[in-house]
């Protein structure tokens, strides 16, 4: 095992990645989707399938931010009860995409497990098993002996929880592949094209203003991840969204000791197609203080009480011009360079200290894997909401819709979110109760609801 080095290669999708969708953008379309992450790509895909003219605009590269930097889990397990029905649908959609796109998607149903050293945690796991059963999800508890058979290890885990139908995929490959599928369905995708703001007439959205010029549109979907709040605020829409840094790494190829992806309170892992493993610091994350952190402070008090012990507080954003940076402008002229052009991809450095803890924990848990070293390391900025579930709703500005704040759950649930948003924008029945995800929950006096603890 070797200590993580500052010289480790970083993430594969960045501004050096060739533009796959150069445009140009059209002068008019039915729907503009802002943001080329999984939620935006999938929403555009299903809108196009329904016959709408759709243009997706990405300021950097498709999946350049969190949609390619995540763990790659496609997880029903321990979902918020409001999210679970959409996630169950999303898993079915992933199965269908795997049949169409083939093995390069990396889709495998090897199961996802949570493991614990704390016997009291098994009570929460049992509550999840009961909820899962109500929805037809086959989660089950694992005793110490069953856990050792399922995931051979030498740790002091006392038990665990597993959902065998949960899956994984290769995110930096999968989301660009889904974007190609969307393009085949008729979506016009334009990378390296920032949307500076909305075109508004008589109180309703009539299009967008981009660095390449205006585009007329009847509807606009804001699916810009960590950038959504600053964009919305420019137009008087107050979205209490913040962001945290999550660190991830890739090991050298190792012998296969389990197909199950999993996590405990120190580290998480997932086997990759090339025989290496994605590893990460479990529930740890870094939070950077900025003006929005103070603006939305009271709404995040419940989450801070629950998660502060796993959060490293830092005084400012790690890069100039980031969404909640102290010097990042909150207002700008539409004929001038916007924050979205000044910082096209959020590419934070990984937390090397946490990676050191991960390598040690992985080696202790899986000695049969042999010598492990990290080949690559990266980090991403996760867009979070005060109650850790997204906004999937119309904004209080006619013609604007919002799909953001997926709070680290977005990759797996992305296809389901896309299908839901498409039908919502088309005025069709969505098939799920979306009251948990309404925009107005932060303005109508509703109590911040973190959902049950599992």
3-state secondary structure 121-132: HHHHHHHHHHHH
pLDDT per residue as tens digits for the range 407-439? 988 999 999 999 999 999 999 999 999 999 999
Would you list the domain boundaries of the chain?
Answer: 31-442
Q: Average pLDDT, stretch 115-124?
A: 95
Q: Which of 15, 8, 21, 3 is nearest to 343 (CA)?
A: 15
**CATH superfamily, with its number, for domain 31-442:** FAD/NAD(P)-binding domain (3.50.50.60)
Q: Locate the DSSP E strands across 290-399.
A: 311-314, 374-384, 391-394
User: 410-426 vs 38-49: helix axis angle to the nearest 10?
Assistant: 40
Q: Which of 63, 57, 56, 30 is nearest to 414 (CA)?
A: 63
Q: Which of 165, 191, 105 is nearest to 415 (CA)?
A: 105
Distance CA(60)–CA(341), nearest Å, equals 8
What pLDDT was estimated at residue 10? 64
pLDDT beyond 90 at 64 = yes
Helix (H) or strand (E) holding 52: none
Helix (H) or strand (E) holding 187: none
pLDDT beyond 50 at 3 = no
What pLDDT was estimated at residue 316? 87
pLDDT per residue as tens digits for the range 194-213? 999 999 999 999 999 999 99
Threshold 0.75, pTM exceeds: yes
CA atoms within 13 A on the CB side of 362: 35
Q: Which of 167-181, 304-318, 365-379 bottoms out in mean pLDDT, i.e. has the lowest?
A: 304-318
What pLDDT was estimated at residue 197? 98
Average pLDDT taken over every residue of the chain: 94
User: Is the peptide bond preceding residue 320 cis, with omega within 30 degrees of 0?
Assistant: no
User: 410-426 vs 171-184: helix axis angle to the nearest 10?
Assistant: 20
């Amino acid at each position: 095992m070797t200590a993580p080095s500052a010289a480790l290669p970083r993430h594969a999708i960045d501004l050096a990645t060739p533009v796959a969708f150069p445009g140009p953008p059209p002068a008019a379309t039915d729907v503009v989707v802002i943001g080329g992450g999984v939620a935006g790509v999938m929403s555009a895909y299903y809108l196009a399938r329904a016959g709408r003219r759709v243009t997706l605009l990405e300021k950097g590269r498709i999946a350049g931010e969190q949609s390619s930097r995540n763990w790659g889990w496609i997880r029903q397990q321990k979902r918020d009860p409001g999210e679970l029905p959409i996630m169950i649908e999303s898993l079915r959609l992933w199965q269908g995409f795997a049949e169409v796109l083939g093995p390069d998607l990396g889709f495998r149903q090897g199961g996802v497990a949570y493991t614990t050293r704390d016997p009291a945690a098994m009570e929460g796991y049992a509550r999840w098993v009961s909820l899962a059963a109500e929805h037809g999800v086959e989660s089950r508890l694992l005793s110490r002996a069953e856990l050792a058979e399922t995931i051979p290890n030498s740790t002091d885990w006392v038990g665990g929880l597993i959902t065998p139908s949960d899956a994984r995929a290769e995110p930096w490959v999968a989301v660009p592949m889904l974007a190609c599928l969307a393009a085949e369905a008729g979506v016009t995708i334009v990378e390296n094209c920032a949307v500076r703001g909305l075109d508004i007439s008589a109180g309703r959205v009539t299009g967008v203003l981009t660095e390449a010029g205006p585009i007329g549109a009847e509807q606009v979907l804001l699916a810009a991840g960590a950038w959504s709040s600053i964009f919305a605020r420019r137009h008087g829409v107050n979205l209490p969204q913040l962001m945290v840094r999550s660190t991830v790494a890739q090991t050298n190829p190792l012998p296969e000791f389990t197909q199950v992806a999993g996590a405990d309170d120190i580290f998480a892992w997932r086997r990759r197609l090339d025989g290496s493993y994605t590893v990460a610091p479990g529930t740890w994350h870094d939070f950077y203080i900025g003006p929005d952190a103070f603006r939305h402070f009271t709404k995040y008090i419940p989450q801070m009480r629950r998660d502060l012990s796993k959060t490293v507080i830092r005084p400012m954003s790690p890069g100039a011009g980031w969404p909640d940076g102290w010097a990042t402008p909150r207002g700008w002229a539409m004929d001038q360079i916007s924050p979205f052009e000044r910082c096209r991809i959020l590419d934070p450095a990984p937390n090397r200290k946490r990676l050191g803890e991960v390598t040690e924990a992985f080696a202790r848990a899986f000695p049969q894997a042999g010598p492990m070293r990290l080949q690559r390391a990266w980090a991403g900025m996760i867009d979070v909401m005060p109650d850790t579930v997204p906004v999937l709703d119309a904004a209080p500005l006619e013609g604007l819709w919002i799909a953001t704040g997926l709070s680290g759950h977005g990759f797996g649930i992305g296809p389901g979110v896309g299908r839901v948003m498409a039908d919502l924008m088309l005025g069709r029945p969505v098939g799920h109760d979306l009251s948990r995800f309404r925009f107005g929950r932060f303005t109508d006096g509703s109590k911040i609801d973190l959902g049950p603890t599992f």
